[in-house]
Structure 1
Amino acid sequence: MRHELPIFQPKDPGYADRVHESFRLQQAMALIGAELPVVEPGHVEIHLPFKPEITQQHGFIHGGVVGMIADSAAGYAANTLTPAGTSVLTVEYKLNLLAPADGERLVARGEVVKPGRTLLITRAEVFAIRREQWTLCAVMQQTIMAMHGKKEGVE
């Protein structure tokens, strides 16, 4: 994706560790086998290997799973730009499924479009990769709410 966007400066020098720790708390990501190999200011990638358990009736990765990784990638991209002690929560997103998620793996690339103190606008693209050919299978636009002083975890 990497559109012509400004270079963002994180407000928390420990943003990458904070985002990785938050990702580890997401049991849903562990359940589907997702990984978080790229965490940069305003940009995150989630990689998901193919597993038969996450497919729909045609053998493609389910659209709900595509939405999960797009939502998380863009949400974590937003979280890279929030201050320490701030968590994020999705307010809304619009997902367009463009092609079947038919690949050996999926890559969701999330990035911040416009950071704000309370609301951040993000987007994501999800690619299905088969034999190293990348096919854009979904695009998403999202609004994220920064929750200042709200700790993550089950209380």
Structure 2
Amino acid sequence: MTEDGTTAGGLSLDAARQALAAQPFSGLLGARITEFGAGGATLELDIRTELEQQHGFVHGGVLSYAADNALTFAAGAVLGPAIVTGGFSIQYLRPARGRVLRARAEVVHAGRRQAVCRCDLTVTGEDGAETLCAVAQGTVMSLNERGRGELTT
């Protein structure tokens, strides 16, 4: 993070929030970025009935969405705004039940054109305790030269 609040990729938390707001699907889910910079990002969303599957757990597609976006935003803090997910894998560890889903991602390694990132997905219960429910890892690729274009996930 630089003195003016921007990352090595030239982005700020405010710019990351604007990029997320430009994604209609993220708006539908009610996702928000709470941390961004220094090769990391945290994405959160409130858990509600519409995001659950038939057994009352957060749907795996919602967990995958959160991991994908968190991984890509973390990479954007290093690679710059013109990026796309190259691929990712997710392992579901336990059913996700709670009030808030949190996806915390960090860059593990970054080169000029791609970054490898990992993400821990947790849920916060009614008692405020956080429980790890899934982990993900992925590769994010730069579309252009560093710092050019718009953040796309």
2:95 partner letter: P
2:55 equivalent in structure 1:
58
- Give CA-to-partner distance per residue, 1:20-79, whole Å, 9 cap, x none: 221111111111111111112211111110111111001111011001001101110000
Q: Provide the identity percentage.
A: 31
Is residue 110 of structure 2 the alignment partner of residue 112 of structure 1? no
Is residue 127 of structure 2 the alignment partner of residue 129 of structure 1? no
Change beyond 3 A, Cα 1:102–1:112:
same
* SS of the residue 2:143 aligns to: strand
Aligned partners of 2:13 and 2:35 also within 8 Å: no
Question: What is the correspondence of 1:1-155 to structure 2 with a 5 Å cutoff?
Answer: 10-83=7-80, 86-130=81-125, 131-148=127-144, 151-152=149-150
Aligned partners of 2:83 and 2:151 also within 8 Å: no
* SS of the residue 1:79 aligns to: helix
* SS of the residue 2:70 aligns to: helix
Aligned partners of 1:39 and 1:45 also within 8 Å: yes
Normalised by the length of structure 1, the TM-score is 0.85
Greater shift, 42-51 or 16-25, is seen at 16-25
* SS of the residue 1:73 aligns to: helix
Change beyond 3 A, Cα 1:42–1:65:
same
Aligned partners of 1:43 and 1:77 also within 8 Å: yes
Root mean square deviation of aligned Cα: 2.0
Long gaps (5+) in structure 2: 1-5
Aligned partners of 1:16 and 1:80 also within 8 Å: no
1:13, CA displacement in angstroms? 4.2
1:152, CA displacement in angstroms? 3.8
* SS of the residue 2:21 aligns to: helix
Change beyond 3 A, Cα 1:128–1:80:
same
Paired positions, count: 144
Aligned partners of 2:83 and 2:142 also within 8 Å: yes
Aligned partners of 1:25 and 1:153 also within 8 Å: no
CA distance in 1, matches of 2:103, 2:73: 11
Long gaps (5+) in structure 1: 1-8
* SS of the residue 1:80 aligns to: helix
Change beyond 3 A, Cα 1:148–1:15:
farther
